[in-house]
Amino acid sequence: MKRLTALLALSLALGVQAQHTMTVDVAKPTAKIQPTMYGVFFEDINFGADGGLYAELVKNRSFEFPQPFVGWVPFGQVTVEDEKPCFDRNPHYIRIVNDGRLLRAGIDNEGYRGIGLKQGEEYRFSVYARTPDATPVKLSVELVNSNAENPVKKEIEIKGQEWQKVAVVLKSSFTDAHSRLRIVVQSKGTVDLDHISLFPVNTWKQRENGLRADLVQALYDLNPGVFRFPGGCIIEGNSLATRYQWKNSVGPVENRPLNENRWNYTFKHKAFPDYFQSLGLGFYEYFLLSEDIGAEPLPVVSCGLSCQYESNEIVSLDQLDPYVQDALDLIEFANGDVNTTWGKVRADMGHPAPFNLKMIAVGNEQWGEVYPERLEVFTKAIRAKYPDIKVVGSSGPSAGGEQFDYLWPEMKRIGVDLVDEHYYMAPDWFLTNAARYDSYDRKGPKVFAGEYAAHDHASGKANNLYAALSEAAFMTGLERNADVVHLATYAPLFAHVDAWQWNPDLIWFDNLRMMRTPNYYVQQMYGMNTGTDVLKLQMDGKPVTGQDSLYATAAWDEPTGEIIVKLVNVASHPAEVKIDFTGLKKRQLVSGTCTYLHDGDLKTVNTLEQETLVPRVRPVQVKGQTLELQLPEHFFGVYRLQLN
Ligand code: AHR
């Protein structure tokens, strides 16, 4: 063995490349690959929803933050009121009085680390307003740039003692990531204002309560099979009172009550006291988004345990009914007939057709006996009412260890359909775990790799090529074991460059731009090239799980009749690979393409200014039933091969 290693080292030093022969048996696929296999997991962390995907530009638009002027600079006489409110679940509003002496009263919003405005783009301002003493009042609505100039303004008139919605569209004359919105009372009088909102007109699909078009496009481009939402830890809450309650997130957007965001004080060295959830991006919008991006929705509900790292509050079993009912009602909201209570809510919001929900997850990273005790109650109730809905349980916060070893048998006992596994580990772990699922029980629940990402601590957990390649290598093992692994989602998804709590993340953005990481492109290369059936790929009679730093998997794609081979070379030297395809009978390879990610430096990252690492495509020379390849160092390639 020692001699072999020495020989390999010597040949590399002499520039002689290691040669490897792999075989792919095309005749006998070994497993079906689920269309849901590669997906996305969304959580409102790192300003992923408010300040991110949710395109609202005004922070604290309803004045419901515990300190009601957070995000605002009031000037002149401005007070917070709640008498005869416009919205009963968001009762605060502001009263601005301009007594004519100062002729200068109003309020100014800072957005989420600024408001991003683009020259030539239109923005829809709206407000609920009334004039309590019936004297009409003139307001100027202004877009203010970071030099404190207000070149864009429009005047609106408020009249009447009843609340009414007033809207106006402004076209920005400048591009600025750190603009502000200002409202100035221009005439003598008193005005009440609530739910002050500013959205780009050009949201995804031009929806008024819409999402940032560039960020949704990035999700769409992943071709995701599943969409897990809304968390993560936020479904648990720092306390039970602040858990995610989906019923608060549907119905008129103005009346969805504010919730604390669990990520505000989670990391003591990186606190975000102004991080709350408006729930403007709520369960209706999540289901709609799943539909838009072609992914199966996978909502997660609280199982009656708050975050066990934080407060660890537990709902006793005899008090669990409302929680279970929430899960059942959620299924009705997604799939119920328009005549059902919750199906009607969905229809009234604009979607009479069902969302065709097929799965629901109960709990996130729960552990201990308290979890299976509760999960079992949920599972029985869901199975009794909705036998076709698949239930997803959890194996806790880690990839192994005491809790994991306790929970997996419990999941089997309860009989959940899928078990959610989470691993935030070093790249080396991903490389050495490419065979993790080769020996998993084929008769138990299926695996949902629900949260994973390679954390390269040496680089400050950067989204670099090394992390991305280690994920690509690990994912060959997910694909090879597609009979047991049915879903996989990287985490977290989004991060605002000025307001993140957790890294690495798949997509970074500021108020104007977004950046796809190399990890994103790995996900995309898998998502765009999933295939339908696993093919047996071997080298020296074994799966390729890291021999000489090579990783590989192969699939058949039924709709196109193509063979898809994914190859990863993590080594810092090239490799010669020959692949013999067997079982083709008289068929020959006629052409092929290779989509690849490669760079000489494993530390390379993408930035908002420049995406250095993007997939490139080139043709591949094929010969009969063989493929001969020179794999560069630090390389991930997806080969699509056509047959005659
Ligand atoms: O993805 C970030 C967090 O990591 C999730 O909220 C949680 O499930 C995990 O601990």
Same domain, 27 and 82: no
Same domain, 295 and 334: yes
At residue 104, the pLDDT reads 82
Query: Does some domain include residue 410?
Result: no
Same domain, 503 and 563: no
- Number of domains the chain is built from: 3
At residue 53, the pLDDT reads 98
- Closest ligand 1 atom, residue 262 Cα: 6
Query: Does some domain include residue 151?
Result: yes
Residues with CB under 6 A from ligand 1: 43, 45, 231-233, 364-365, 397, 422, 451, 491-492, 502
Compute the radius of gyration of the chain from its Cα atoms. Answer: 27
CATH number at residue 297: 3.20.20.80
Q: Whose CA is nearest to atom 7 of ligand 1?
A: 232
For 416, 447, 510, 516, the CA distances from 488, given in Å and listed in that order, are 17, 8, 27, 19
- Please check whether residue 142 is in contact with residue 184, taking contact to mean a CB–CB distance below 8 angstroms: yes
Q: Report, as ranges of residue numbers, the positions in the chain whose pLDDT lies below 70.
A: 1-18, 102-103
Under DSSP, is residue 160 helix (H, G, I), strand (E, B) or coil? coil
Q: Whose CA is nearest to atom 3 of ligand 1?
A: 232
Query: Does some domain include residue 259?
Result: yes
Centre of ligand 1 to C-alpha 159, Å, is: 48
Same domain, 512 and 600: no
Query: Does some domain include residue 220?
Result: yes
CA pair distance 319, 303, nearest whole angstrom: 12
Per the DSSP assignment, residues forming a β-bridge with 553 are: 566
- Catalytic hit among 365, 410, 451, 471: 365
Query: Does some domain include residue 65?
Result: no
CATH number at residue 132: 2.60.120.260
Which domain covers residue 216, as residue numbers? 38-54+204-368+376-399+419-527
Of 150, 183, 200, at which residue does a domain stop?
Answer: 200
- Closest ligand 1 atom, residue 365 Cα: 8
Centre of ligand 1 to C-alpha 445, Å, is: 22
Under DSSP, is residue 280 helix (H, G, I), strand (E, B) or coil? coil
- Closest ligand 1 atom, residue 41 Cα: 1
609 is annotated as an active-site residue: no
At residue 17, the pLDDT reads 66
Strand 226-229 relative to strand 259-260, pairing: unpaired
Centre of ligand 1 to C-alpha 566, Å, is: 29
The 3-class SS string of 317-346 reads HHHCHHHHHHHHHHHHHHHCCCCCHHHHHH
Under DSSP, is residue 189 helix (H, G, I), strand (E, B) or coil? strand
Under DSSP, is residue 272 helix (H, G, I), strand (E, B) or coil? coil
Same domain, 512 and 560: no
Same domain, 218 and 319: yes
Enumerate residues 6+ apart whose C-beta is below 8 A from 273.
264, 265
Of 200, 232, 267, at which residue does a domain stop?
Answer: 200
Centre of ligand 1 to C-alpha 490, Å, is: 11
pLDDT tens column, 314-329: 999 999 999 999 999 9
Of 166, 185, 200, at which residue does a domain stop?
Answer: 200
Same domain, 81 and 48: no
- Please check whether residue 617 is in contact with residue 591, taking contact to mean a CB–CB distance below 8 angstroms: no
- Closest ligand 1 atom, residue 234 Cα: 6
Centre of ligand 1 to C-alpha 233, Å, is: 6
CATH number at residue 570: 2.60.40.1180
Query: Does some domain include residue 346?
Result: yes
CA nearest neighbour of 447 among 460, 433, 465:
433
Q: Whose CA is nearest to atom 4 of ligand 1?
A: 232
Same domain, 190 and 157: yes
Same domain, 178 and 239: no
- Closest ligand 1 atom, residue 424 Cα: 4
Strand 296-301 relative to strand 226-229, pairing: parallel
CA nearest neighbour of 301 among 331, 345, 256, 274:
331
Tokens 């209570």 belong to 341
Structure tokens at 525: 């290369």
Same domain, 153 and 255: no
Structure tokens at 346: 């969905």
Q: Quick one: angle between helices 213-220 and 283-293, nearest 10?
A: 50
Query: Does some domain include residue 560?
Result: yes
Query: Does some domain include residue 412?
Result: no
Centre of ligand 1 to C-alpha 436, Å, is: 21
Same domain, 165 and 81: yes
For 254, 395, 401, 592, the CA distances from 398, given in Å and listed in that order, are 39, 8, 7, 40
Pocket test for ligand 1, best of 46, 310, 451, 503 (most atoms within 8 A of CB): 451
At residue 268, the pLDDT reads 87
CA 474-475-480 angle, 5° bins: 105
Same domain, 306 and 267: yes
